[in-house]
Amino acid sequence: MHSNPRDTDLERRVTSFLFGRHLPGLRHIEVEARDGVVTLRGRVRTFYEKQICHQCCRRVAGVLKFIDAVDVDPLPAEEQAARV
């Protein structure tokens, strides 16, 4: 928990923006804000989802800097084959 209400508010707004993209992979991204610096951590399945994370951070007012700690971890081959 942050003692700075601005950090807490910024985390909430970035998280809300990520959830608003309606991509299930983005719901598991951890958002941390410190003095306008937002760090995103977690895993997504595609580079597209990672790009969406970047765009979300750039669009939220109050984000001064963005640290990307999001990894791309595609579905295992057997899961990809099952989706075809």
pLDDT in tens, 20-75: 998 888 888 999 999 999 999 999 999 999 999 999 888 999 999 999 999 998 87
Domain extents in the chain: 5-83
Contacting residues for 79 by C-beta, under 8 A, at least 6 apart: none
Q: Is it the case that residue 6 has pLDDT exceeding 70?
A: yes
And the tokens for 5? 């209400």
Q: Is it the case that residue 80 has pLDDT exceeding 70?
A: no
**Residue 74, pLDDT score:** 86
As a CATH number, domain 5-83 is 3.30.1340.30
Q: Is the model's pTM score more than 0.95? A: no
